Structure 1
């Protein structure tokens, strides 16, 4: 309970000391808000979700896909559906507007309360080449902003050893093949026995989170959770490709 109280207070303190314009429409906002009330009404919050993968469901209970195949991560939570203004916000963050990390962290940090007390945040790593191409590591930026709000430290104990082909348009099996063996734990002592939260921007098929969670668990992590900003509502059946 002390962890959650500290998290709530840090979020309130952050709000009190920052004034911004809305990151969606540019209107002035107050009280540390990043998004105005009008734009917030257009965001697709996930209000009812599968208790395992965190995707929006129409009725309570584990979704059909998780019944068929449980994710490797112990629990996943996402703040928004990857649609409309939410999708555009994440795309802007990935394509140069790195300052949006603070906005997205403010929205996603409260999701940590869904888990038992955690020891560290693990951003999904990029290769050095991909980071040079983009100019920054968006998952690491997001993790650092969430850390500033929650006081949960960032643990950079995993590297991505090779480039992977473009994931967009691929089904889960194809993504799993692309990602197999690409992550490597550099310091097993930092991982062993820890309760870790993977941080990423989008949860699509779950292949990236599963591959990283598998690597962390093999290195001895006690629990592996995941938090993403958005998730795609409809999972792709195994073997079928997805076009968006």
Structure 2
């Protein structure tokens, strides 16, 4: 859509801020200036890695872009519970920054694999948040393979479980559908929220068994239970 047509549509159909519901100006996109600044202040340094989080060694490195708290928590809930996938576009700038700061100069990953979700979540939301995030990052030239893993139907939703139940629940949660897409390749697993890390570990286990050369994890947000971090080489961006 060209800029003139988009501006005309915005005049006829004003858009509201995804956080505060204030009517957006023509130069604003998804968030008003105040809420965009609030979101920007919550970003983690781009070179900060969740290096100590994985005790199993199943993945090689992991990053989270935000803490799972307001306003990120509000935005993710609004997108997922309200079936409004377009809200996730507010995170596109930080994903672009992450690519430029971490991925572009190193060329360390060949393929993006989003964490799959179950049939019930698809019916409720109409989209997979992890897949949306992966495709936004894929626009920078990394292949995205959303069909590598599928979620088995018998696994309970992590949202309703206590921490100890979450740790045990993901075992056997996924099925490897395309091992050839991971074999000998450098795979970056994508998710929207990292809590105990058990879901990501199970996905990475299958990818490792398929013969992946290297595995990383990128999550949009992490909870306090995944809060121990170490810094990778380089100064925080």
Query: TM-score with structure 2 length normalisation?
Result: 0.75
CA–CA distance in structure 2, aligned partners of residues 195 and 73 of structure 1: 11
Aligned residue number for residue 193 of structure 1: 184
CA–CA distance in structure 2, aligned partners of residues 109 and 175 of structure 1: 31
CA–CA distance in structure 2, aligned partners of residues 29 and 42 of structure 1: 20
Match status 1:214 vs 2:208 = no
Aligned residue number for residue 24 of structure 1: 19
Gaps of 5+ in 2: 1-5, 228-237
Aligned residue number for residue 46 of structure 1: 44
Structure 1 residues 1-244: aligned runs within 5 Å: 22-25=17-20, 26=22, 27-28=24-25, 30=27, 34-43=30-39, 44-47=42-45, 51=49, 53=50, 69=55, 72-95=58-81, 96-112=83-99, 113-115=101-103, 116-117=106-107, 118-148=109-139, 150-155=140-145, 156-168=147-159, 169-171=161-163, 173-235=164-226
Verify the 8 A CA contact 1:78 1:108 in the aligned structure 2: no
Matched residues, number: 207
What displacement does 1:159 show?
Answer: 1.0
CA–CA distance in structure 1, aligned partners of residues 118 and 225 of structure 2: 29
SS in 1 for 2:180: helix
What is the Cα-based RMSD across aligned positions, in Å? 2.9
CA–CA distance in structure 1, aligned partners of residues 216 and 188 of structure 2: 5
CA–CA distance in structure 1, aligned partners of residues 96 and 204 of structure 2: 20
Gaps of 5+ in 1: 1-17, 54-61, 237-244
Cα gap change, 1:46/1:100 in structure 2, threshold over 3 Å: closer, same or farther?
A: same
What displacement does 1:135 show?
Answer: 2.0
Aligned residue number for residue 239 of structure 1: none
SS in 1 for 2:211: coil
Cα gap change, 1:232/1:39 in structure 2, threshold over 3 Å: closer, same or farther?
A: same
Cα gap change, 1:130/1:87 in structure 2, threshold over 3 Å: closer, same or farther?
A: closer
